Structure 1
Amino acid sequence: LFQFITISPDICTTTANTQGICYSAADCTNLQGTASGTCAAGFGVCCTFTRNCESSTNVNGTLFQNPEYPSATTTAPGSCKLTVVPVNENICQIRLDLMEFTLAQPDENGVCADDFLQVTGGTTTIPAICGQNNLQHMYVEVSPGSGSVSINVDTFTAGAKWNISVTQIECSSPYRAPAGCLQYFTNTHGTIKSFNYDATTFTSPTTPPPATTPTTQLASQVYGVCIKSQSGYCSVAYTKTSATPNDYTFSLSDDPGPLPVGAIGSIGSTDCTTDYLMIPMGIITNVPAYPATSADRYCGINFPSKVETSIQPFALYVVTDDTETNYADPALNDGPNVGFSIDYRMKAC
């Protein structure tokens, strides 16, 4: 007896920890895909499809790469566009996983002037990004049955490298992010970073760098970051990724001066007006000078030792204005702007 097994084209995880689509080995080959790991209890393969400049895709699990990948570009290709055509009329989101992503740094004001990634065709505005963004991700909202989405990487100089996993998500899929979430985290704990955050390159917090440009926060970023609600968990606690004071793992405008150990940066709508992280109904804990203080906005060059919130759906919001500096500028009261890296952990009820 022969038993025929039907393999549903569901989202799967490849051996490279990217998202692919589960197919039979024969179907993956016929679709000109690449098998990377197994799925469907070993009866299927996790299939991916590679595209580069001026191409289109109507299959799920596509990898959009620069032409020379895994090497960086040797020339500036200019505009390099992938057109994503919905696989059916029930697609509500497209998820982009930036597995590798290196473009030129923004200018002195945090604007992606030379190189940038821009996504158009969705129903929401996606901020342009550049710089170092390995392992970041974003969700693009689309209207079911609508036209295509364009993913455009524009480069002015050589040295760019990108490998972007493109996953189309159906409206009824459990992988769908809530509306208004550019980023969506589904684990009970993890790390959230601003785009182009890389603290290891930041060396001069008080003066303009004379020769090299350290990583700079990107300008004109307004987006939501959501965390999936889980059964048995009633709140989320946020902490700075590094426990070292004044190490600029949290640096969003305002007070450029040094802070004493255990202190926090600025909080509230009065102080945090240019760049800030918004945590709805955040409660500051573990800081004696601020016992159980509630604040929505956080900025400055330090973050409270812990901020908790029980407001659901769990979300925080990133806001930056159109002028960013990576050094302290008292005249602007706007710097040093490096961005942030904070950890989150859901707490049981």
Structure 2
Amino acid sequence: MRLFLLVLLFVTMTKSEILQVVKKSERIMKPMGFESLVSTFNSTREARRSVVSGGLFSIVSFDNVPCMAMSGDIGTCYSQRECTNLMGTASGVCAGNFGVCCVVTPSCGGTVTTNNTYFINTGFPATVSGPLMCSVTVNKLAGASELYLEFTNFQIAGPTLGDCTNDTFTVTITGSTSSMTVPILCGNLGNQMYYIDISKATGPFTLKFNLGSTTFARSWKIRIVQFKTGDACAAPSGCSLYFRDPSGTVETFNYNMGQGELINNICINVCFQLQPGFCSIMLTENEFMLSGIAPNDCTEGDYLLANGQRFCGDTLGNGMLVVNQTMSSGFLQIQVCSGNTNPDMDLGFKLNYTQLPCPSSVG
């Protein structure tokens, strides 16, 4: 029991506090056996050791890496004290039980100073009503080149004739010289994502909801991550959406299980990471409804651009399309754009995609 208490104290105390305890507790420490204390610290392989006071004691330290929280969220491994200082919630343990999986959830008026947090509405998962303005400020982290937003939950009032006139969600990139702009979003964006180039931005960044007076139950939970160039999870430059799985689905914003409406004035690159030995993807129409006359009379502003050709109307070609890789970069992309009006309240699309092997690797 005494050993357990001392180990717990050393994990949470500062260096100066530990040295004071060592000086005052010398008689207690010697009967315990110093080797036992060191052995306790060495029992975890997840922790990285650093030596204090000439090697007398080993204080456990560990990297603040992502961890899977008991809540199902992706947290960050911190000490209990660090998690408390960040106003986070400890949800499980990490680093061989020396750390806690900390989930940080700033809300209206909050400031994000660390990586991997969740912006939530007040009282989430309870809903909120309008009118309301709610924002968080995100400080740019050293070396960050990309801001990733994962819409774990996103439900606000949808557009009218394609325009977000009721509720809006905006992202302001301060001090940016990048040509990448973030469109105004609204409606149901649950399980969607957005990558934003911040390599030439100074920050801070503002994520803001402006909710109107329309009667509607709103809620949101947005994971905020900053990546450095070369990080395994970073998207290629210029990609707003990035899919890594060999197969899956891609939807326009506010598709909302076929009950939504295409949002106006959006033009983004949708990218797919190709697995080794794969050179193209096959897009299969689940539902496709853009303005214009199928397959290629796309003068009204809505289109999907692939293989140098625009597609619009109520069908994607003959219902399927093979998109070929045009660059030797390990990924391919399509472009999806919407016009400045949606008088027919066109839905957008939901497409299934599957990667296809390179011809030389078949058989």
User: Is TM (by shorter chain) over 0.5?
Assistant: yes
Q: What is the aligned partner in structure 1 of residue 288 from structure 2?
A: 250
Q: What is the aligned partner in structure 1 of residue 155 from structure 2?
A: 102
Q: What is the aligned partner in structure 2 of residue 315 from structure 1?
A: 333
**Could you give the per-residue CA deviations for residues 167-186 of structure 1, whole angstroms, max 9, x where no partner exists?**
11122311111111111111
Number of matched residues? 292
Asked if 2 retains the 8 angstrom alpha-carbon contact of 1:222 and 1:319, the reply is yes
Asked if 2 retains the 8 angstrom alpha-carbon contact of 1:47 and 1:61, the reply is no
CA shift for structure 1 position 229? 2.5
Distance 2:306 2:97 in 1: 43
User: Which has more radius of gyration?
Assistant: 2
CA shift for structure 1 position 34? 2.2
Distance 1:232 1:46 in 2: 37
Q: 1:13 to 1:181 in 2, by over 3 A?
A: farther
RMSD value over aligned CA atoms? 2.4
**Could you give the per-residue CA deviations for residues 284-318 of structure 1, whole angstroms, max 9, x where no partner exists?**
xxxxxxxxxxxx21111122332112214311111
Letter in 2 for 1:160: R
Q: What is the aligned partner in structure 2 of residue 127 from structure 1?
A: 183
1:185 aligns with 2:243: yes
CA shift for structure 1 position 271? 4.2
Asked if 2 retains the 8 angstrom alpha-carbon contact of 1:91 and 1:144, the reply is no
Distance 2:82 2:153 in 1: 28
**Could you give the per-residue CA deviations for residues 47-105 of structure 1, whole angstroms, max 9, x where no partner exists?**
3201111211101121111113211113421x211100123x21111111111111111
SS at match of 1:307: strand
What TM-score do you get using the length of structure 1 for normalisation? 0.76
Letter in 2 for 1:348: P
Question: Structure 2 matches for 1:1-349, cutoff 5 A?
Answer: 1=39, 2-3=41-42, 5-6=47-48, 7-14=62-69, 18-24=73-79, 27-36=82-91, 45-77=100-132, 79-87=133-141, 89-108=142-161, 110-121=162-173, 123=178, 124-143=180-199, 146-157=202-213, 159-201=217-259, 215-241=260-286, 249-255=287-293, 265-267=294-296, 270-271=297-298, 274-281=301-308, 296-303=309-316, 304-311=318-325, 312=327, 313-325=331-343, 327=344, 337-349=346-358
Asked if 2 retains the 8 angstrom alpha-carbon contact of 1:91 and 1:171, the reply is yes
Structure of higher RCO (CA pairs closer than 8 Å, 6+ residues apart): 1
Asked if 2 retains the 8 angstrom alpha-carbon contact of 1:119 and 1:152, the reply is yes
Distance 1:176 1:276 in 2: 26
Distance 2:83 2:241 in 1: 29
What TM-score do you get using the length of structure 2 for normalisation? 0.74
Distance 1:60 1:150 in 2: 15
CA shift for structure 1 position 200? 4.1
CA shift for structure 1 position 147? 2.0
SS at match of 1:164: strand
Letter in 1 for 2:314: I
Identity of aligned residues (%): 29
Distance 1:343 1:76 in 2: 37
Asked if 1 retains the 8 angstrom alpha-carbon contact of 2:106 and 2:119, the reply is yes
Distance 1:307 1:171 in 2: 32
For structure 2, the 5+ residue unaligned runs are 1-38, 49-61, 359-363
Asked if 2 retains the 8 angstrom alpha-carbon contact of 1:103 and 1:115, the reply is yes
Distance 1:230 1:39 in 2: 31
CA shift for structure 1 position 231? 1.5
Distance 2:206 2:249 in 1: 28
Letter in 1 for 2:269: G
Distance 2:158 2:204 in 1: 29
Asked if 2 retains the 8 angstrom alpha-carbon contact of 1:50 and 1:63, the reply is yes
CA shift for structure 1 position 239? 0.7
Distance 1:192 1:42 in 2: 39
**Could you give the per-residue CA deviations for residues 178-222 of structure 1, whole angstroms, max 9, x where no partner exists?**
111111111111111100102443xxxxxxxxxxxxx22100011
Which protein has the bigger helix share? 2
Q: 1:342 to 1:35 in 2, by over 3 A?
A: farther
